[in-house]
Chains A and B, each alone.
Chain A
Amino acid sequence: MLLKYAFIFILSGFALVLPLVSIVAGAILGPRKPDPVKNDIYESGLNTIGDTWIQFRAQFYLIGLVFLVFDLEVVFLYPIAMAYGRPEFGMAAVLVTLLFMALLIVGLVYDWRKGGLEWQ
């Protein structure tokens, strides 16, 4: 069991090193002639106006929140899916699960009616 995760751990080290090595190789092999115009922001040749790092629009937070709720739900649904088919997982448990999902759908419908899903 531990060996499997050791494999993934070693692979994650490899997966970090592979892009790092190629980027460093590119930096060594490639030319290096920085100049202020080249290093400036590329916006189709126009000089950039104003600051880029502005605030996110509230819409993204809304989507993010709905996503969080759904993702949490999915995290709970996977164990339920694994427990399916066991004798102790009967009709009552399924009803509770369906209620769980119904609550989520109520939330989605609320968000929908409030216009949280309309993208402007």
Chain B
Amino acid sequence: MAEWYQVLMTALVGAGVPEWIATAIALLVGVTAIGLVAPLIALILVWLLRKVISRIQDRIGPNRVGRFGLLQTIADIVKLLSKEGINPSRADFMAYNLAPILSVFGVLLLFAVVPVTRGLIGVDINVGVLYIVALGSIGIMAALMAGWGSNNKYALLSGFRVVAQLLSYEIPLVLSMLAVVLYAGTMRFGELAEQQGNFLGLGWYVFLMPGAALIFFVCALAESEQTPFDLLEAESELIAGFHIEYSGMRFAMFFLAQFLGGFVFAWVGAAMFLGGWQGPGVDLPGIGGFLAAGYMMIKTFAIYLLMIWVRGTFPRLRVDQMMSFCWKILVPLTVGLISWQMVVQVLDLPTPVIAVLVLVGNLLVMGIGLYAVGRAIRQEGFRTKRAFTPDSLIGTMQPVAE
């Protein structure tokens, strides 16, 4: 078990508590801490998102409730609590009611393995990365259940899109995480962070594997249903997505799950690619621990802010563009990256040479990926222009057939 557990146990047993009660108390304390901190984080995230998006769109954002509108989210929760939870008469009872619970369930469990600092991590299981990957699928199921159970055509369409999008993007996501696991030789988040502590705590994997990090970030955007991949709740096409029929607290649960999901992906990304809690000065006695926890949070929020920035800037993709981007660009690139890394690592070379070769492979992957995206954008540009020339189908807005 992690260090916090040992500390608690020593204190409790030292105070004369029987061991089994001490174990139960320690476990419950840990669980409660995660279960309470996660919703609190969500409160901050909602405020942060609204504030940053407002600034991007040249608005002020929430500024009435509390200082800088900090209490706005709490007011919103009170409002949602006092709202009527509508039960659509034609919905599938089980699927409809189970979906919001399941979506929060899948996300909250992810918080068990992400590290805060050395020794402060829910549980440092030896299959940490695999655990994240496995639990990520529960959210897909919840969204599909909501879409199907609502008995609403828009919700169902959104449910279809959830399946297509989240399933597809899971593959490059998992493979980009595999690149790190392959290099580090461990799936423990604690050890992954320890290994990035070279060069004054700046030996982060993002410098070694920028390609994998970029692919991870793009897939994390898609998996957490953020713009430009928010097709499943494209309000101009699908009203609200799979949660149209939900209101009150059940709607709030989907909201909570979405925010926390994005945040957990940012956290995992920070732990795997940005060195976790590593940074200059984390080994100092005394303040080192606080510095480390601070670094971890700063990195996580930095990635999350980047996600918000993307969300506030980019237009939405079209379904077919999104699917072909995943299957025709990301998947072959990640598979190539993994194969290259496997070959490089098995050759009997000194470590710096291996690192340089891995870096070269990653830069190549980035170059090819960006070139392919650029070419696709240029082609789309031609198609759109042709669609609006005078002799084309004016008014129908139909792209001209190739």
Q: Give the interface of A toward B (CB within 8 A).
A: 3-8, 10-12, 14-16, 18-20, 22-23, 25-27, 29-34, 36, 38-44, 48, 52-54, 56-57, 59-60, 63-64, 66-67, 70-71, 74, 77-78, 81-82, 84-85, 89-91, 94, 97-98, 101, 104-105, 108, 112, 117-120
Instruction: Please name all residues of chain B whose beta carbon is closer than 8 Å to the beta carbon of A66 when the two chains form the complex.
Output: 327
Selected from B27, B100, B175, B331, the residue in CB contact (under 8 A) with A6 is B27
Q: Which of A19, A39, A60, A104 contacts B86 (CB 8 A)?
A: A39
- A7 pairs with B30, CB closer than 8 A: yes
Q: In the complex, what residues of B have CB within 8 A of residue A15's CB?
A: 35, 104-105, 108-109
| A105 and B335 contact, CB distance less than 8 A | yes
Which chain B residues have a beta carbon within 8 Å of chain A's beta carbons? 1, 5, 23, 27-28, 30-32, 34-35, 39, 80-90, 100-101, 104-105, 108-109, 111-112, 122-125, 129-130, 133, 148, 150-154, 156, 160, 163-164, 167-168, 170-171, 174-175, 178, 181-182, 185-187, 239, 244-245, 248-250, 252-253, 256, 319-320, 323-324, 327-328, 331-332, 335, 338-339, 342-343, 345-346
Contact among A16, A70, A82, A94 with B346 in the assembled complex (CB-CB below 8 Å): A94
Chain B residues, Cβ within 8 Å of A112: 327-328
Give every chain A residue within 8 A of B130 (Cβ-Cβ): 78
Measured CA separation A85–B34 after assembly (Å): 35
Knowing A20-B101, A43-B154, A63-B164, say if A70 contacts B171 (CB, 8 Å): yes
Give the residues in chain A near B34, CB-CB below 8 Å.
Answer: 11, 14
Q: How far is the CB of B392 from chain A (nearest CB, A)?
A: 21
Q: Nearest chain-B residue to A111 (Cβ)?
A: B327
Chain B positions within 8 Å of A42 at CB level: 88, 152, 239, 244-245
CA distance A28 to B186 in the complex (A): 47
Is A26 a contact partner of B324 (Cβ separation < 8 A)? no
Chain A interface secondary structure, helix, strand, loop or mixed? helix
- Of all chain A residues, which has the CB nearest B113? A8
Q: Contact at A11–B171, with CB atoms within 8 Å?
A: no
Number of A-B contacts (CB under 8 A): 215
Nearest-Cβ distance from residue B123 to partner chain A, whole angstroms: 4
With A30-B84, A42-B152, A91-B346: A23-B32 Cβ-Cβ less than 8 Å: no
Say which residue of A6, A20, A30, A59 sits within 8 Å of B248 (CB atoms).
A30
- Whole-angstrom CA separation of A100 from B44 in the bound complex: 45
Minimum Cβ distance to chain B for residue A86 (Å):
9
Contact of B84 among A5, A33, A60, A104 (CB under 8 A): A33
B239 to chain A, nearest CB (A): 6
Q: Is the CB of B80 within 8 A of A26?
A: yes
B249 and A26 contact, CB distance less than 8 A = yes
Q: How far is the CA of A112 from the CA of B34 in the complex (A)?
A: 44
B249 proximity list for chain A (CB < 8 A):
22-23, 25-27, 30
Query: B155 to chain A: closest CB distance in Å?
Result: 8
Can you show 30 pairs from A to B with CB atoms below 8 A apart?
A3-B5, A4-B125, A11-B111, A18-B35, A19-B100, A20-B101, A23-B249, A30-B84, A31-B82, A34-B87, A39-B88, A40-B88, A40-B89, A40-B90, A41-B151, A41-B153, A42-B152, A43-B239, A53-B151, A60-B164, A63-B168, A67-B170, A77-B175, A81-B185, A84-B342, A90-B346, A97-B342, A119-B319, A119-B320, A120-B320
Whether the Cβ atoms of B343 and A98 lie closer than 8 Å is yes
Cα A77 to Cα B154 with chains together (Å): 38
Inter-subunit contact A7/B332 (CB<8 Å): no
Q: Which one, B23, B171, B327, contacts A74 given CB within 8 A? A: B171
Q: Is the CB of B81 within 8 A of A30?
A: yes
The chain B residue sitting closest to A24, CB to CB, is: B249
Expressed in whole angstroms, the minimum distance between the Cβ of B258 and any Cβ of chain A is: 13
Contact A52 B153 (CB under 8 A): yes
> B343 → chain A, closest Cβ, in Å?
7
For the complex formed, measure the closest distance between the CB of B206 and the CB atoms of chain A, giving whole angstroms: 19
How many angstroms from the CA of A41 to the CA of B91 in the assembled complex?
A: 9
The residue that B187 contacts in the complex, of A39, A63, A78, A101, with Cβ under 8 A, is A78
Q: Across the interface, do A23 and B108 meet the contact criterion of CB distance under 8 Å?
A: no
